[in-house]
Amino acid sequence: MLKKNLYKGRNGYIYYRKTIQGRCIQLPAHTKSEAIANKLHSALEYQVLNECFNPTGKNRYLTFRKLINEYLAYDHMWTPNSRDMTTRALYYFITKGIPENQNSAAIIRGRVNNCINWGLKNNIKTDQAKFTSLIKSIPRNRVFDDAEMYLILNRMQSEDFREFVKFAYYTGARRGELVDLKVHQFKPLYFETTGKTGERLVRLNRQAREVLSNKEGMWDYKEDYITHHFKKELRRLEIVNGRFHDLRRTFGYNLIVKKNVPIYKVSKLLGHALLSTTERHYAPLLVVDVEEFELP
């Protein structure tokens, strides 16, 4: 059993956390062993008290690379997907800088600023300046048309991967929500998963249930494999500028435009936390489908 103020984070490592005068201070024990962490308890408590009450020990300086390491080691209660995206963005920045793609650049600038802000809250200064102007990412608006969807759902070479793609399209699930699925997560009309916004239920329509009924066990594809193999298949089918996530966007677009499903219901099916998120992503797509009108 861990001593007072010690707790185990999601990553398995143990931390010491104490709130003093309204300020929460957390230090990593750098171990997963409860026995070792308990032995370090007094030392960790001393460090926390010293950091809080010793003026000379309040401010630290770390290179940005070292700040990143401490930032990622801290238990932020992120979802696995958020941790993966943050880690990739920060290490891309320190190895390659800012990419030319505007969306990727906006994501990386935001993650860098979040890391620096966390450091400042914990009295850590670094050699990396914050980005003062953050360009908002431009929502991607690519959807597959009927001819492309026919090829995707019927002409992919691998039958197993083709059925996986069908299941992804019929559910509108994110790529990360489809990885490592287990049989116990499935109920008659939905399955439970952890996505970008946390735990959620994904609806299974008749088509998705039919795919599952013909599948023995679950798919065991990794995220990188899904991305690269899907693009490889699109190139073979001569479908340009396509990504796996475009299946999800096509799912939402077809429900709204072709099936006349209210956007608030589509928002729930997509697992968006806010209706405004659905509107922001789909409004640019829907403007061309507004019926003819004349002004007085």
31: helix, coil or strand? Answer: coil
Q: To which residue do tokens 């193999």 refer?
A: 229
Beta strands in 31-179 (DSSP E): 60-62, 124-126
Strands 14-20 and 6-8: antiparallel
Write down the pLDDT at residue 42.
Answer: 87
Dig out the tokens for 64 from the structure: 């940005």
Q: 98-120, pLDDT tens digit by residue? A: 988 888 888 899 999 999 999 98
Name the pLDDT band for 296 (thresholds 50, 70, 90): low
pLDDT for the residue numbered 62: 87
Q: Over the stretch 137-167, which tens digit does the pLDDT of each residue have?
A: 667 789 999 999 999 999 999 999 999 999 9
State if pTM tops 0.75.
Answer: no
Q: Give the pLDDT of residue 274.
A: 86
Three-state DSSP state, 194: strand
Whether the CB-CB separation of 163 and 214 falls below 8 Å is answered with yes
Alpha-carbon span 114 to 130, nearest angstrom = 9
What is the model's pLDDT at position 55?
Answer: 52
Rounded distance between C-alpha atoms, residue 55 and residue 124, angstroms: 14
Q: What per-residue confidence (pLDDT) applies to 167?
A: 97
Give the model's pLDDT for residue 23: 73
Predicted local distance difference test score (pLDDT) of residue 93: 95
DSSP 186: B
Q: Which two tokens stand for residue 218?
A: 């679950």
Domains and CATH numbers, the chain: 6-57 (no CATH), 60-126 (no CATH), 146-289 (1.10.443.10)
In this prediction, residue 10 carries a pLDDT of 78
In this prediction, what percent of the chain has a pLDDT beyond 70?
91
For residues 75 and 9, is the Cβ–Cβ distance under 8 A? Answer: yes
- pLDDT tens figures, 26-78: 888 888 889 888 888 888 888 877 766 665 556 788 889 999 999 998 888 77
Categorize the per-residue pLDDT at 291 as very low, low, confident or very high, splitting at 50, 70 and 90: low
DSSP annotation of 23 reads E
CA–CA gap between residue 256 and residue 235 (Å, rounded): 28
Predicted pLDDT of residue 180: 84
Over residues 43-55, the pLDDT tens digits come to 888 887 776 666 5
Q: What is the mean pLDDT of the chain?
A: 87
The confidence band for 266, taking pLDDT boundaries of 50, 70 and 90, is very high
Q: Assign 245 a pLDDT band (cuts: 50, 70, 90).
A: very high
pLDDT in tens, 201-241: 999 999 999 999 999 889 999 888 999 999 999 999 999 99
The pLDDT, as a whole number, for residue 135 is: 64
Query: Which of 88-92, 173-177, 284-288 is predicted least confidently?
Result: 284-288
Give me the DSSP letters along 266-280.
Answer: HHHHHT-SSHHHHHH
